[in-house]
Amino acid sequence: MIDAASFTAHLRSLVGDNAVLTEEPLAAHTTFRIGGPAQWLVRPRTEDEVAAVVDACREAGVPLRILGAGSNVLAPDEGLPGVTLKLADNFAAVEVLPGGLMRAQAGATNEAVAAAARDAGLAGYEFACGIPGTIGGAAIMNAGAYEGQFSDVAVEVRCLTVEGESVTLTAPEAAWGYRTSRMMHEGMVVLSATLQLRPDASEAIAARMADLTQRREEKQPLEMPSAGSTFKRPEGYFAGKLIQDAGLQGFSVGDAQVSTKHAGFVVNTGNATAADVLGLIAEVQARVLADSGVALEPEVRLWS
Ligand SMILES: Cc1cc2nc3c(=O)[nH]c(=O)nc-3n(C[C@H](O)[C@H](O)[C@H](O)COP(=O)(O)OP(=O)(O)OC[C@H]3O[C@@H](n4cnc5c(N)ncnc54)[C@H](O)[C@@H]3O)c2cc1C
């Protein structure tokens, strides 16, 4: 059993006082605006600091979670014991390399990477410009939209294994599938990713980004807190359509509601709890199964 005060001091010696928050509400770090306190929320700024925190947790037997922009996570109401390692604007360098390559640290947002690519006259990442997560989250989830997905452009990811070993995985080694990856299954920390893009005129890239943004704004409840699509797309169906057909659009449990704008999204209409969202998910799964025979599987990462 570790002593919390001395572990706090140890973390602060590794990453600096300001980079370690204690009992930090996860609701402030997730797009659902849900989640109780993280025992420690740590924001390292360099790869060495990330590795040092990962090593410290392993050596002390402290649970470790990685958080990007928190746009695909349902954090528990009771909070999380151990360290939540946040890789976001504290770890977000983006570089344009020769030969149409770009390298981004895990915390860089898709929006920032897509904008840097556009400015450099590099096409191929437009699909991700409206996915409100980080490169780390995109690599773990194989994020995708509008016929594009992360694995179409990623050539390499640098990671830390759970043992703290630094590895570079090629695309085949990353074993991307639909909203899944080897890094997800093996609990790796994604440090950075390299993308292969192709030359194009910045104006043409900007026009495609504007078009995708408009399509997203028209269809999705972007004005409400959510974690995007609640369920994975079942083979041969659309989750939102199945939910709508089961008469569930607008259905709610507490302040968690099936969006009236897009039935594939669960939104937080005020003070939804994780218990509300979990209750809603279970009810939607049961009713859709009864109505259509299709079993919906959550895409949102349900932390417990
Ligand atoms: C309005 C809205 C629209 C969305 N639209 C889309 C869409 O079109 N397509 C799509 O695919 N998704 C979409 N999403 C979901 C979400 O944005 C993506 O899944 C995104 O890739 C998650 O990135 P993140 O940084 O927010 O990850 P988080 O939500 O912080 O984390 C997601 C998972 O990745 C892990 N993780 C994050 N960073 C790292 C890292 N550096 N190393 C190891 N593990 C890590 C976390 O532990 C967690 O398991 C949408 C969400 C919202 C709110």
**DSSP letter, residue 29:** G
Q: How far, in Å, is the centroid of ligand 1 from the Cα of 70?
A: 6
Q: How far, in Å, is the centroid of ligand 1 from the Cα of 235?
A: 21
Catalytic residues: 179, 229, 299
pLDDT of residue 234: 96
pLDDT of residue 197: 98
Return the percentage of the chain with pLDDT > 90, whole number: 99
Return the percentage of the chain with pLDDT > 70, whole number: 100
Any ligand 1 atom below 6 A from CB of 131: yes
CA distance 72 to 237: 21
Check whether 1 has a pLDDT greater than 80: no
| C-beta separation of 296 from 284 below 8 A | yes
CA distance 141 to 301: 10
Any ligand 1 atom below 6 A from CB of 143: yes
Q: pTM above 0.85?
A: yes
For residue 167, the Cα-to-chain-centroid distance in whole angstroms is 21
Give pLDDT tens digits for 41-94: 999 999 999 999 999 999 999 999 999 999 999 999 999 999 999 999 999 999
Q: Which amino acid is at 70?
A: G
Any ligand 1 atom below 6 A from CB of 206: no
Give pLDDT tens digits for 243-272: 999 999 999 999 999 999 999 999 999 999
Any ligand 1 atom below 6 A from CB of 137: yes
Check whether 2 has a pLDDT greater than 90: no
Give pLDDT tens digits for 230-243: 999 999 999 999 99
Check whether 181 has a pLDDT greater than 70: yes
Q: Which of 209, 196, 169 is nearest to 104 (CA)?
A: 196
| C-beta separation of 73 from 301 below 8 A | yes
Q: 50: buried, middle or exposed (CB in 10 Å: 19+, 13-18, 0-12)?
A: buried
Give pLDDT tens digits for 133-165: 999 999 999 999 999 999 999 999 999 999 999
pLDDT of residue 91: 97
CA distance 107 to 105: 6
Q: How far, in Å, is the centroid of ligand 1 from the Cα of 227?
A: 8
Task: State the pairing for strand pair 80-86/37-42.
Answer: parallel
